[in-house]
Amino acid sequence: MMENSEDTKLIRTACPAHCGIDCCGILAHVKGDRIVKLEPADFPDERDRRICLRGLTSLDITYHPDRIKYPMKRVGERGEAKFERISWDEAYDIIIKNFKEIIEKYGWKSIGWVLGGPGAGTTKFGAYLRLASLTQSTRVSAWGYGDAGLPCGSRVILGHQFPYMHLHGEFWQRKYPELLMVWATNPAEAMPLQNMRKVMDAKEMGTQVIVVDPRFTVTASKADDYVGLYPGTDSALALGVMNTIFQNDLHDKEFISEHTNGPYLVRTDTGKMLRGRDVDEKKADAYMIWHESSNSHKTVSRSNIKEASLTGTFNINGIECKPVLQLLIELASIYTPQRTAGITGVDEDLIIKLAKRIASSKKVIFLTHMGFTRTYHGDISLRGVISVAAITGNITTSVSSGYIPATLNWNPFLKAIPDKPSFHRIGILNLYDAVISGKPYPIKALWFAFINFLNQCANSNKIIEEFYPSLDFIVQTELFMTPSARFADLILPICSFLEFSDFMAQPYPNIQLQQKVIEPLYESKSDVTIVSELAERLGFGEYFKGSEEGLIDLIMANRTFEGITRETLKTQAVLLPSLPEGASFPLSFRTPSRKIELYAEQLYEDGEALPVYLPPIEAPITPGDKKYPLTLINGHSRFRTHSMFANVESLLDLNPEPLVDINPIDAEKRNIKTNDMVTVYNDRARTTLKARVSEGVKPGVADITEGWWIEQFKEGSLNHLTHDIINPIQDKIYEPNMHMNDVAVEIIKSEGERK
Amino acid sequence: MSTIKRFGMVIDQERCIGCEACTIACKIENNTTDYWIKVETQGRAVKDTPEGKFPNLTMNFLPKLCNHCENPPCIDSCPEDALQKRDDGIVILDQELCTGCQSCLTACPYNIIVFDDESNLAGKCNFCAHRVDQGLEPFCVICCEGQAIYFGDLNDSSTVISQLKSEKNSFQLKKEEGTNPKVYYIPPRPKKRL
């Protein structure tokens, strides 16, 4: 690292871009009031020192000529992007006036804060939550714009929001397994540092790496073998793998007995777990097992669980019962290699080899993320993968050793006044109905922060034609005139990450300060400053004392961070407290049974108690059998973090425009060649862009990487093609997800458009 | 061990994810308009597309930059002495002396020297000599996402790059040209199929 010199100051900060967990430490070189260079900053473990090509170009965002420089109010029609400069005072006056009118008619509840992914940022998110809590207005949760499917599945089978620590916590601790299953995630582009480097480190240490994905991604190119399946068929593949494992008796019975609800009895008549009350046991709610040696049913206990039958059919007081595992085996038995191959498009032999390899490996780590859960039944896909991990004993404790995951002090943000009600909560996909039809209650004003809503949410035409016109007032905090900002009534200029401070508990096992490097440019302010100033005017100023720094101290007020202060973090990243060598914690799950629930009785009526395979809602599985025969998916590009960096010239030089990747088989049928302009269409919209003919996508699949701005397409955009259909079961479990990888389209060559 | 340094680079294709962070890092560090490092999708006309038939595919990346040849043909081609090989082996193109005649572009068998129409000057990777002279690594090395680029003294057998160069089937580009590049590549490792 270079030393401070007379004219150059070095300031350590961190990139909060929404790759989230990468969160690279950045060393900024400052001359006078200008940042002249960014480079990767040091970490306690030098292997964590890193930056990506997006982070490198951050100055192109900070000093971008198109930055929104001052508050602006709309003077044209929504969408026309005609705005007029106003002062901050005027902006706050407009907000208060509009809020007051709406509150008088509909109450605070009808004002919603749409907070996108804050990336690794914490207080910029927390500030809005705190104000929403104080005003009892509506927090619009943004999990549902792609990230709700995974928590839905994880909550059902593990009882946790995320499955990551249970699936690959050891991977993050650099403990590499014999086999690494990279299931439907492309860390090489989406999480190159925190995950992909470790994939390659693992490989160097001898780990065999297998990638499961509909696209032959960069990650797949680094793998030892590749399993290319149809989008939305992951749970079928999981069942196919389980089929071979069960057929060959390769499952880990000890683990299943001890850590899953596999031995628990299910009533075949009601589909519910057999409980003590069903058989006149004292413990009415207790789960029951079939005790093998005594040939009788018993209330489950720690001492008898290993003696429970995992298979069979039992008649208990006239009630027919089967252990959960028996039901799972019966389900998997249908998914023979042949049948699974027919659904997934994966070679039969490969499925068998994969299953045997998973079952025979001493240790398997499953590295996964959100992509494959962005299908209509994506939550069950995750349960399928976790079921494979569970029946082979590859679920680990969230903390087995190493460092204790950070716990942030979220309480003052989620509930600003302990004995008063807090904000209302609505999922972003439910928001469409709330705004358009007033269901479950009317939302009249929306404040969008760190979200490019129109660009990144499903079914653009519906948003433009029905959603926006139903709103009385729209505020957007933004750096740029994004496709969404064009529809705002009021635009508030915010800082780039180099102009304000925030706290980050990333990348595991480090914590960092995103330290303000320069003063906010132009008239921009941080989200925290804006919220604090608005709160002051609403009479809640005392809750935002100290603005950014005050909130950082508040969110750090947890014993995980004992002895670590904001001051300490100004010059270094700090490692989280570590556990003593050999310390281990029991596996614990927050499901109703406190076990990994291979069977979720609460979903029996929905037909989803087991990790069943249900076909995608729209994506065609058998190519050619529908009006729209191709499945459209959207991968992530290394050139963007969602829709961020889409306007950075140095990146556009390398990757100038949106492309749709299609397989040569599909291209030939349609007489399409690389660089042809093509139109991708369905009943919702037409999107015109350049084609790239590539073997990198499975036949029957088309891929447009997400995040390109609407105006970068010749016509339409990616999300003009996607749908906003709600999966009611996800709605019931947690929050419905948008299914951007479950979309059917056709593609035709655009006439006379070839460049 | 020789006391004369011979700086070189080893690029491990197994770890290169083709992200082009090196390309961007170089452009920023050297404030160039053109690219002094270009990442090719090896053997492919269309970038980022694999070779083969789905699902039996391969894709490898090959970052290309000045090879800092032991026998650099570009030096003899330059009428202005703008190209020089330093004692440590780094081949420098001094843009102060360049008149834009472009003879080096033709002389380089690797087609890696670029010409900027605006400034009317040739340009190429100087191994970040300005950083190396301060004891730092070239900027692309510390910005490489995959940790695929190694830099150091090839004359010192104890350096990581000397070991990598000798241990892992390293190869040079266009060896037959006799230029003896100081940039070595390690090919991807064999796959352990299921």
> Do the chains contact at B145 and A193, CB–CB below 8 Å?
yes
CB-nearest to B49 from A40, A638, A692 is A692
Please determine, for residue B115, whether its predicted confidence score (pLDDT) is greater than 50: yes
> Do the chains contact at B54 and A674, CB–CB below 8 Å?
no
Nearest to A662 by CA among A747, A580, A559: A747
Q: Which of A1, A49, A218, A640 has the most B C-beta neighbours within 10 Å, making it the best mutation to test the interface with B?
A: A218
A-B interface: how many C-beta pairs under 8 angstroms? 126
List strand residue ranges (DSSP E) for A95-187, in order.
111-115, 138-141, 179-183
Six-digit token string for A536: 């002051």
pLDDT at site B88: 97
> Do the chains contact at A695 and B21, CB–CB below 8 Å?
no
CB neighbours of A420 closer than 8 A, spacing ≥ 6? Answer: A136
Please determine, for residue B9, whether its predicted confidence score (pLDDT) is greater than 50: yes
Lowest pLDDT segment from A364-368, A448-452, A620-624: A620-624
**Residues forming a β-bridge with A401:** none
| CATH number reported for the structural domain that contains residue A319 in this entry | 3.40.228.10
Calculate mean pLDDT across residues A360-365. Answer: 96
Packed helices A164-172 and A197-204: angle between N→C axes, nearest 10 degrees: 60
What is the β-pairing status of strands A72-74 and A490-493? Answer: antiparallel
Residue A683 to residue A628: CA distance in whole angstroms: 9
**Topology annotation, domain B7-186:** Alpha-Beta Plaits (3.30.70)
CB-nearest to A200 from B15, B27, B51 is B15
pLDDT at site A288: 98
Q: By a Cβ cutoff of 8 Å, what residues of chain B touch chain A?
A: 14-15, 17-21, 23-25, 27-29, 46, 48-55, 57-60, 134, 136, 139, 142-143, 145-147, 189, 191-194
Share of chain B above pLDDT 70, in %: 99
Please determine, for residue A629, whether its predicted confidence score (pLDDT) is greater than 60: yes
Going by pLDDT thresholds of 50, 70 and 90, the confidence category of residue A397 is confident
CB-nearest to A225 from B52, B53, B193 is B193
Calculate mean pLDDT across residues A419-429. Answer: 97
Please determine, for residue A624, whether its predicted confidence score (pLDDT) is greater than 80: no
Residue A498 to residue A219: CA distance in whole angstroms: 31
Judge if A276 and A362 occupy the same domain. Answer: yes
Using a CB-CB cut-off of 8 Å, the residues of chain B touching A40 are 142-143
Please determine, for residue A124, whether its predicted confidence score (pLDDT) is greater than 70: yes
> Do the chains contact at B20 and A196, CB–CB below 8 Å?
no
pLDDT at site B3: 81
Task: Give B118 or A660, the one with higher predicted confidence.
Answer: A660
pLDDT at site A53: 95
Judge if A135 and A259 occupy the same domain. Answer: no
Per the CB < 8 A criterion, the answer to whether A534 and A131 are in contact is yes
Q: Is residue A37 part of a domain?
A: no
Which position has the token pair 């002062």?
A87
pLDDT at site A1: 46
Residue A22 to residue A445: CA distance in whole angstroms: 34
CB atoms within 10 A of CB A337: 20
Contacts 24+ apart (CB under 8 A), A477-480: A477/A447, A477/A448, A477/A449, A477/A450, A477/A527, A477/A530, A478/A68, A479/A61, A479/A64, A479/A67, A479/A68, A479/A524, A480/A64, A480/A66, A480/A67, A480/A68, A480/A647
Give the count of domains, chain A.
Answer: 3
Q: How many residues in total does chain B contain?
A: 194
Domains of chain B, by residue range, sit at: 7-186
Six-digit token string for A608: 């989803």
Please determine, for residue A170, whether its predicted confidence score (pLDDT) is greater than 90: no
Nearest to A224 by CA among A211, A241, A237: A211
| Mean per-residue pLDDT of chain A | 95
Lowest pLDDT segment from A153-167, A402-416, A631-645: A402-416
CB atoms within 10 A of CB A469: 12
Calculate mean pLDDT across residues B159-176. Answer: 93
Going by pLDDT thresholds of 50, 70 and 90, the confidence category of residue A751 is confident
| CATH number reported for the structural domain that contains residue A717 in this entry | 2.40.40.20
What is the β-pairing status of strands A34-40 and A25-31? Answer: antiparallel
Segment holding A548, helix H or strand E: helix A547-555
Which position has the token pair 């990638």?
A211
Judge if A341 and A426 occupy the same domain. Answer: no
| Closest chain A residue to B15, measured at CA | A200
Q: Helices marked H in chain B — which ranges? A: 21-29, 73-77, 103-107, 129-132, 139-143, 160-167
pLDDT tens-digit series, residues A103-118: 999 999 999 999 998 7
Residue B146 to residue B9: CA distance in whole angstroms: 15
Per the CB < 8 A criterion, the answer to whether A61 and A496 are in contact is yes
Judge if A168 and A230 occupy the same domain. Answer: yes
Going by pLDDT thresholds of 50, 70 and 90, the confidence category of residue A755 is very low
| Closest chain B residue to A223, measured at CA | B191
Residue B153 to residue A560: CA distance in whole angstroms: 44
Judge if A388 and A459 occupy the same domain. Answer: no
Share of chain A above pLDDT 70, in %: 97
Please determine, for residue A22, whether its predicted confidence score (pLDDT) is greater than 70: yes
Going by pLDDT thresholds of 50, 70 and 90, the confidence category of residue A21 is confident
| Closest chain A residue to B131, measured at CA | A2
Please determine, for residue A153, whether its predicted confidence score (pLDDT) is greater than 80: yes
Judge if A197 and A327 occupy the same domain. Answer: yes
Give me the amino acid identity at A59.
Answer: L
pLDDT tens-digit series, residues B148-162: 999 999 999 999 999
Six-digit token string for B14: 């197994």
Measure the CA angle with vertex A528, ends A522 and A532; round to 5°: 100
Q: Is residue A729 part of a domain?
A: yes
Q: Is residue A179 part of a domain?
A: yes
Report the first-to-last Cα separation within chain A, whole angstroms: 47
Using a CB-CB cut-off of 8 Å, the residues of chain B touching A210 are 194
Using a CB-CB cut-off of 8 Å, the residues of chain B touching A354 are 194
> Do the chains contact at B46 and A674, CB–CB below 8 Å?
yes
Please determine, for residue A496, whether its predicted confidence score (pLDDT) is greater than 60: yes
| Mean per-residue pLDDT of chain B | 96
Calculate mean pLDDT across residues A53-74. Answer: 97
Q: Is residue A426 part of a domain?
A: yes
> Do the chains contact at A2 and B57, CB–CB below 8 Å?
no
> Do the chains contact at B55 and A52, CB–CB below 8 Å?
no
Six-digit token string for A124: 């910029």
Judge if A414 and A288 occupy the same domain. Answer: no
Using a CB-CB cut-off of 8 Å, the residues of chain A touching B60 are 221
pLDDT at site A4: 62
Residue A22 to residue B189: CA distance in whole angstroms: 27
Six-digit token string for A402: 């190493």
Going by pLDDT thresholds of 50, 70 and 90, the confidence category of residue A401 is low
Judge if A446 and A534 occupy the same domain. Answer: yes
CB-nearest to A699 from B21, B28, B54 is B54
Six-digit token string for A80: 């026309």
Judge if A429 and A392 occupy the same domain. Answer: no
Per the CB < 8 A criterion, the answer to whether A184 and A371 are in contact is yes
Q: Is residue A505 part of a domain?
A: no
pLDDT at site A500: 97
Residue A46 to residue A50: CA distance in whole angstroms: 9
Judge if A310 and A223 occupy the same domain. Answer: yes
Residue B20 to residue B144: CA distance in whole angstroms: 8
Which position has the token pair 């907000």?
A95
Using a CB-CB cut-off of 8 Å, the residues of chain B touching A638 are 19-20
Judge if A90 and A140 occupy the same domain. Answer: yes
Calculate mean pLDDT across residues A432-445. Answer: 98
Judge if A200 and A348 occupy the same domain. Answer: yes
Going by pLDDT thresholds of 50, 70 and 90, the confidence category of residue A623 is low
Calculate mean pLDDT across residues A615-635. Answer: 85
In this prediction the ipTM stands at 0.97
> Do the chains contact at B145 and A40, CB–CB below 8 Å?
no
Using a CB-CB cut-off of 8 Å, the residues of chain A touching B25 are 53, 56
List strand residue ranges (DSSP E) for chain B, in order.
7-12, 38-41, 51-53, 56-58, 61-64, 83-85, 91-93, 114-116, 121-123, 149-153, 183-186
> Do the chains contact at B57 and A226, CB–CB below 8 Å?
yes
| Closest chain B residue to A193, measured at CA | B145
Closest approach of chain A CAs to the CA of B87, in angstroms? Answer: 25
Give this prediction's pTM.
Answer: 0.96
Going by pLDDT thresholds of 50, 70 and 90, the confidence category of residue A754 is very low
pLDDT at site A511: 94
Q: Is residue A38 part of a domain?
A: no
Going by pLDDT thresholds of 50, 70 and 90, the confidence category of residue A405 is confident
> Do the chains contact at A39 and B139, CB–CB below 8 Å?
yes
Six-digit token string for A609: 């108690």
Lowest pLDDT segment from A360-369, A486-495, A623-632, B96-105: A623-632
Calculate mean pLDDT across residues A445-464. Answer: 98
> Do the chains contact at A695 and B50, CB–CB below 8 Å?
yes
pLDDT tens-digit series, residues A686-709: 999 999 999 999 999 999 999 999
| CATH number reported for the structural domain that contains residue A82 in this entry | 3.40.50.740
Q: Which of the 8 DSSP states describes residue A464? A: I
Domain hosting A80: range is: 72-145+406-499+520-563
Tell me the HSE value of A351 on the side-chain side, using a 13 A CA sphere. Answer: 27
> Do the chains contact at A654 and B23, CB–CB below 8 Å?
yes
Going by pLDDT thresholds of 50, 70 and 90, the confidence category of residue A715 is very high
> Do the chains contact at A221 and B58, CB–CB below 8 Å?
yes
Q: Is residue A387 part of a domain?
A: yes
